[in-house]
Structure 1
Amino acid sequence: MHIENKKIGYFGEPGSHTENAAKGFFEQKANGGFKIDYMSFATITLLLEALLKKQIDKAVLPIENSIEGVVTLSIDELINGSGIKIENEVIVEIRHHLISVGSIKEVRKVISHPQALAQCSKFIQNLHLPLAEDRIIAAISTSAAVKEVAKRNDPKIAAIGSESALRIYKRDNCELEILAKNIQDEETNKTRFFVLGHENNPWTGKDKTSIIFGTEDKCGSLVDVLLVFKVLGINMMQISSRPSKKKLGEYIFWVDIDGHREEKTIQVAIGQIAKITTFLKILGSYPKAE
């Protein structure tokens, strides 16, 4: 029997929270039906380029955190991406750990992804790091931070990352250890990830739809859009804005709504909103994460 191979791309180095989300989702879906090859990408831009060129079948990237809000890089790339659809969402509980080769008393610098650094800001503050410009170092991902700490082998620098990243990079440096567990500021730290592809999902009855749109720079233009949802009784689950990058003060809005694009009420709403916005794009309808 021929078993199909699926290529799944994800943002970050091996051991990242995004890789964990990808594996948790697809290994449950596969159930022996297809083989999975995972591919890591250093940037979200490269990940989505590979998806557009069909070098990978699906892409997984972080989109929103319960503490720090939306991941702006992901939203910007999705706004500009052509032909990419949101097929699923995955919600993962995030546990951050302080990882290094020495003791916690020796730590003078902390490196991680900016989102992770922000999610652990209280813990970092309590470390009482020296007031040096480079005491906080941004990395492209949490797993890249752990990889860097393993490479440097310096007890004065610690990474904020996952236990899976520790297991991977401990092979390169056996002295790598968790110095402090669960250092995130909030116990309810969760991140929402998108599974992206090229397909439109069928209606399931438990769906949400993501759209982006632009409005004219005039009084009440955004309110007019929101009133469409209110009048039609559509629950708006999330709204965020990003600069259009074309004109100062001009914004693009991202909205998640309850329902599927094939539902009559959603179709009516989309039709009405298209008439009162400068542009409108449906990013996808997909099942709500459990």
Structure 2
Amino acid sequence: AHVYGLKKVIMKSIEDDDDNTTRFLVIGRQIFPTSGHDRTSVLVFIHDKPGALFDVLSPFARHGISMNRIESRPSHQAKWEYGFFIDLAGHVEDEAMKQALAELEAHSAQIKVLGSYPVAIP
């Protein structure tokens, strides 16, 4: 909390290993300013069709954006429709990210940018 200037810590010393590393979420309504070393998380729902996931991921490759993580979940909106949580290298305000996300909208049933944030400080 101190590293990121946060005021409230719900519980301290929760680790059971001195070398433990824990990820925390900071939730807010505003876009976190770019740090130059950021990650963006998006939730994308795709249509059930051949090549749908390829179509969703291609804009990131075209714009030189690395994907750090992808995780699938059933959408519960329609049968055989899935949502993908994707973590990407870069900030939502970066020009390459803006272009990739704009292209992504044409290939997805729904997209939600969950936020951009600085990569963890070791």
The bucket for the TM-score relative to the shorter chain is 0.7 to 0.9
Structure-2 change in CA distance of 1:232 and 1:37 (3 Å): closer
Give TM-score, length-normalised by structure 1.
0.37
1:195 maps onto 2:26 in alignment: yes
Q: Which residue of 1 aligns with 2:54?
A: 223
1:273 aligns with 2:107: no
Q: How does 1:1-290 map to 2 (within 5 A)?
A: 25-26=1-2, 29=5, 36=8, 38=10, 94-95=15-16, 190-290=21-121
Deviation of 1:27 (Å) = 7.8
Give me the CA root mean square deviation: 2.6
The alignment partner of 1:219 has SS state of coil
Deviations 1:184-230 (A, max 9, x none): xxxx8644221111121111101110011111100000111111111
Gaps of 5+ in 1: 1-24, 41-92, 96-181, 183-187
Over residues 88-110 of structure 1, what are the superposed CA-to-partner deviations in whole Å (9 max), with x where a residue is unaligned? Answer: xxxxx952xxxxxxxxxxxxxxx
Shift of 1:239: 0.4
- Structure 1 Cα separation of the partners of residues 118 and 75 of structure 2: 28
Partner of 1:47: none
By relative contact order (CA 8 Å, sep 6+), the higher-ranking structure is 2
Secondary structure in 2 matching 1:273: helix
Question: Which structure features the higher share of helix residues?
Answer: 1
Q: State the number of aligned residues.
A: 119
Opposite residue 211 of structure 1, the aligned amino acid is: V
Unaligned runs of 5+ in 2: none
Percent identity, aligned pairs only, is 36
**Distance (whole Å) between structure 2 residues aligned to residue 28 and residue 260 of structure 1:** 17
Paired amino acid for 2:55: D
Q: Larger radius of gyration, structure 1 or 2? A: 1
Q: Please, what TM-score do these two structures have when normalized by structure 2?
A: 0.83
Pick closer, same or farther for the CA change 1:36–1:189 going to 2, 3 Å: closer
